[in-house]
Amino acid sequence: MHLDHDHPGPGAASADAHRPDGSRRALRIGLGGPVGSGKTATVAALCRALCEELSLAVVTNDIYTREDAEFLLREAVLPPERITAVETGACPHTAIRDDISANLEAVEDLEDAVGPLDLVLVESGGDNLTATFSRGLVDSQIFVIDVAGGDDIPRKGGPGVTTADLLVVNKTDLAPYVGSDLARMAADAKEQRIELPVVFQSLRSESGVAEVAAWVRGQLAAWTA
Ligand SMILES: Nc1nc2c(ncn2[C@@H]2O[C@H](COP(=O)(O)OP(=O)(O)OP(=O)(O)O)[C@@H](O)[C@H]2O)c(=O)[nH]1
Ligand SMILES: [Mg+2]
């Protein structure tokens, strides 16, 4: 059991940056956030945006199924051997924060099987605003919320909104239909996060995941520097 409720902030590396053979392991980025906010869709778009330039793999977490992994396999965003599902069987945050052993094993097995890898994306099962990843599992984390979940979510705060290395406010295309005030969401997010970055995106728009992909490239540059 690995207990880690301590989040030292962006750029803080998790333990063991090297593999047993001394080579640098892949950068691990976690994606968390409420149910249905667009985590899997963001993972899929990131794979499509980055797979030509990077060696990458994905670990998904679902409570009782492998649906997110099956979606990514159906969409063929990566070759099948680069996508692994962890069935958590309990609250999603347990597997990404409290007992990270199944996820660590999945990440390490992927590196052994298809490595060397530059990047592993770990998607948490959809959870509430308090869910964050252990720094023993991921090096940085993206918290994905969406405009349809209510434009008061950034104001409500919680560790995902306030401490994630990147906050993504997804589905901006839906804002006019659900009456969400994007300017208010941006102001509230700024107040909660001060200097930490926030990206507003619509995966239905032409620019799609481009800004998040650029952020990932920046994280990777810092990791390999
Ligand atoms: N309109 C719109 N729909 C989106 C966008 N991003 C994702 N969706 C849709 O939102 C739904 C949920 O997306 P997912 O990516 O499955 O959400 P998730 O956060 O992975 O969900 P869980 O893993 O079940 O918590 C899907 O029908 C997506 O196609 C977006 O930017 N705009
Ligand atoms: Mg998902």
Q: What pLDDT score was predicted for residue 46? A: 98
For residue 122, CA distances in Å to 84, 130, 133, 150, 204 come to 10, 17, 10, 25, 23
Q: Which two tokens stand for residue 180?
A: 């969400």
Coil, helix or strand for 31?
strand
List the Cα angle 97/77/11 in 5-degree steps.
40
The Cα 74–Cα 123 span in angstroms is: 17
Copy the structure tokens of residue 42: 């963001």
Q: Mapping DSSP to helix (H, G, I), strand (E, B) and coil, where does residue 169 land? A: strand
Residue having the nearest C-alpha atom to atom 21 of ligand 1? 36
- The torsion defined by the Cα of 36, 184, 46 and 219, in degrees rounded to 10, comes to -130
pLDDT value of position 131: 83
- In this structure, what token pair is assigned to residue 176? 């006019």
CATH number belonging to domain 27-224: 3.40.50.300
* Whether residue 57 has its Cβ less than 6 Å from ligand 1: no
Compute the distance from residue 172 Cα to the ligand 1 centre, in Å.
12
**Nearest-ligand number for the alpha carbon of 92:** 1
pLDDT of 13: 47
Name the token pair of 153.
């979510």
Are 174 and 145 in contact, with CB atoms under 8 Å apart?
A: no
Q: If you measure from the C-alpha of residue 188 to the centroid of ligand 1, how many angstroms do you get, rounded to a whole number?
A: 23
36: Cβ below 6 Å to ligand 1? Answer: yes
Known binding-site residue numbers for GTP: 33-40
Predicted TM-score of the model (pTM): 0.93
Residue-level pLDDT at 11? 41
Do 206 and 173 form a contact (C-beta atoms < 8 A)?
no
Q: Is 35 in the pocket of ligand 1 (CB under 6 A)?
A: yes
Nearest-10 Cα torsion for 208, 204, 151, 92: -80
Residues whose CB falls within 8 Å of the CB of residue 180, separated by 6 or more in sequence, listed in order? 147, 148, 150, 151, 174
How far, in Å, from the CA of 57 to the mean position of ligand 1?
20
Task: Give the N- to C-terminal CA distance of the chain in Å, as an integer.
Answer: 32
Per-position pLDDT tens, the chain of length 225: 333 434 443 344 456 788 777 788 999 999 999 999 999 999 999 999 999 999 999 999 988 888 999 999 999 999 999 999 998 887 888 899 989 999 999 999 999 999 899 999 999 998 888 889 999 999 999 999 999 999 999 999 999 999 999 999 999 999 999 999 999 999 999 999 999 999 999 999 999 999 999 999 999 999 998
C-alpha span between 32 and 95 (Å, rounded):
12
